[in-house]
Structure 1
Amino acid sequence: MIKRIKWPGWIIIILFLAGVVFGINQVLAKVLEETSEPEKKVVDSSVYPGLNIKTETEKTDVYTLSVSQPYTNNNQINKPIDTWVDKQKKDFTSGIKESKNMLEKNGFRAHLNIQAEPEKIADKIYTLKFQAYQITGGANGITKMKSFVIDLNQNKLLQADDVFQLDNEAQQAIRKLILEELHSNKKINTYLFDDMAKKALKDPKNWKWTVSRKHVTFYFDEYEIAAGAAGAIEAEIPMKQMKPYLNETFAKKIAVKIPEKEKSRKEEQHSEDNAKLDPDGKYVALTFDDGPLPEVTPRVLDALKKHDAKATFFMLGSQVRYYPTLANEVDEAGHEIGNHTMNHQDLTVLPPDKIREEIQKSSRIIEKAIGRTPTLLRPPYGASNDDVEQVATDLGVPIVMWSVDSLDWKSLNATAVNKEVMSNVAPGSIVLMHDIHPSTADALPQLLTSLEERGYQMVTVSQLLELWDENGVGPHYGKLG
């Protein structure tokens, strides 16, 4: 019978079948749109004792979703977290509905990504930093920040007044620290709106913050205090600057020592720095340049600690930017930190404005890490000229050179380093070394023992300068043998 169908009949049959298939596909598409379930996946994991994270992912033709949601065994803690996460999901769903036609027309899928970063700061005390990014159409998405601090010892979410002193004076001081940090960041400062920032900081109940033993970090949504080009913003304040404004009970829980209230932040110094040296003593100042470096600096600190020795570390801003915690460890151990410029350039070949920039940029980074501004400068390569000295004079930072070069950079040999130093050291020497060479860390235990056997006490450069009553810019070289 099929063979008997004439050619025009075949055309009619083909057109008919095509119409049927098209119609079926349309109906299936409609059904799938209304009834099909998205691809879903949920992964549960334990992060810390008492704290878990549920990670939910979804994928459809219209959107993708990935949400990390921490939870505990306490509903009172979970509820505010769930409420915030659900709000982001609801906003995302509303955005999809509003942009549905555009999404379908352009074949673009909306995205929601909520990531939670937990950190343990004490026994059963955790911080949670949330970052939620969503895009439902248009050229740009939006990022929102949220933070929670959980104390499972009390089964509660900590509020601002649980962590900070919030009298008027303390509030003003905290706001000032945050605004100073925002303005010191060139990327943020370019786009910052001061009036919006002040408004966001007005009520401590609206602050978004996390706390650790090293920093207190304040968070701002994209567009909250600056133009969108700045993105979501974090202002990280070193704990040394925040300590005077912490709630004493909370500070004890996270093992942060509160300074005496009558002392200002600027007055808080190492007791060793304030101790005057005996004029009849036998002293040497060991100095370490170019760090900090995780492979070497901790070993140097260990050796110094075993011999109860103090030293001066001339740090590069570029290194401190990568290893701020390590710089803070050096400071916490009672050692002195000086400025070795930002990028180790020969300052004598730079114009005055670039010299100033190299010094000041490094100084800001060091201050952010340790909570104090370095008060000494060592020019890279020991290279100085009239321009360098004039900038140092303008900035009020003494230039410190050395009288004994260990040549550790040249020999890269522990025995050779010890021989070079002990052959040239004299009372009042300033010794040049570098905490970037493993061989220098290898040399230090024996070098410290040898110096002690000769009756030397290891002190900071500032202590030597105070002993000699040398207050000017210098340069200061130390005593020659």
Structure 2
Amino acid sequence: MNESIKRSFSMKKPKFTERFPLLDIMLTCMTIVLVLCFGYFLFVFLNSSTSATSSLSVTDTIPSTIDEIESSFSGIKIVTEISNDLNAPFAIQYPQSKHIQFNDEVKKYIKTLKYNYLTDIAAYKQNHQTFPSELNISFETFEHNGIYSFVIVKNEYIGDNEGEISIHTFRLNPDTGDRITIEHVFDYHLQHLLEISQLTEERLYQDEALINHLLPEQVAIHTQPIWENFQNFALAENEIIFYFEYNKLANSEAGIPIVAIPYQTINPLLTEFLQALIVEEKTEKPNTAQSAINQQEATKNKEIRNNNVEHEEIPKQKRVALTFDDGPDPKVTTRILETLERYDAKATFFMLGSRVEYYPEIAKSVHEAGHELGNHSWTHPDLTKANNDKIASEIDRTTTIIEEVTGQKPEIFRPPYGAFNDNVLNLTDLSMILWDVDTLDWKHRNASQLLSYVKQNTRDGSIILMHDIHTSTADGLDAVLAYLAENDFQFVTISELSE
């Protein structure tokens, strides 16, 4: 029995008693490759996680103050975040609504800008010990037929790098939370898109401030009848505004190319509810800012007439008041001061208290150069939506810091956005100052267009609004001063204008 079993086992030998050496080599190589790949991906994952966590922690640990206030647009709040951190200062404003999805989209965009700013600072810091840097994000709100358009403007500079500017828009139906796209505006009609494409290209070449800076091949690409080319737009009161990317279809000297097309020009192309609104908008709305200017002019003219009675033999010289808002800024304000000095021109600077606190030496240099200092609030909120304590704090804190830093107590006040009411007026003894020439430098960021607006609108006694936080304003100021000087305008401060 045992022998038969042995024989049986001996008859069941496997076909291969040993493997080929080549197979062992292949299996070994495959194992090594798999181990190496796993190790590589593990390293990448851990490194990226650490980097993300580190960046997030840096962002979260930067000291900042966050304020939220109602805007003048129903259902919209303005969030303001300011950091005076020595390594990464920033001033950020963005809109929020009652709609979570919209809020998340805006916050995500703002967070991305902030993250990129901090990342750029970290990269620049590898080769530089100390350097100035700043991130400014502000926004403008337009309303058309119940639809809000938010135009978010970013201005960033780090060290000696060329400043970065961008404009990004969001549209919202505040009642439903729906976001409005360019397809909605033109009813998804491709023929309408083609006509808008052609009209936009024509207007770009008709713009005298852009014509010498356009890049024809890029213009053709970015104005093709593709919906995506026209998604960055705003529905303003009387026109649709298209914003194109900086340094894309025009060189950097052109700033951000902007094309505005009145609704009446494209009435047949618009979706029905926009066409109906055109009729409603034929009645002009009162301009609160201009009304206040007229009141100031009436008072000023009365004083001038009294002076003329006493000094009839002295011919009256044309005068203009240059004003700069939202500073001080270490780069732009300094350049503006240098340009003003070349023309022996005095101006008025309406400063934000939060920026005076961070840049006291710049504020002091403005005062020492003989310019007038004005109060522009602490954080640039819409004061018509603030309670009494908030209004008083915004104004009083700014007055205090300006006086502490410069020794000059401001006697004039310009409300953020030019927005004020009786409540704001009653809570300050400072004289309210607005403007009658808006250069829109915050919007176009174009040095050439700065002069264009001044030429079209400036007259004797004008108050010109500019901002000393935009590089393009500093770039274009020399041409503005040269033009005004050639046309016999005398540069005066706001207080001198009232004399």
Q: TM-score range by the shorter chain?
A: 0.3 to 0.5
Using the size of structure 2 for normalisation, the TM-score is: 0.42
Using the size of structure 1 for normalisation, the TM-score is: 0.44
For CA contacts below 8 A with separation 6 or more, give which structure has more relative contact order.
2
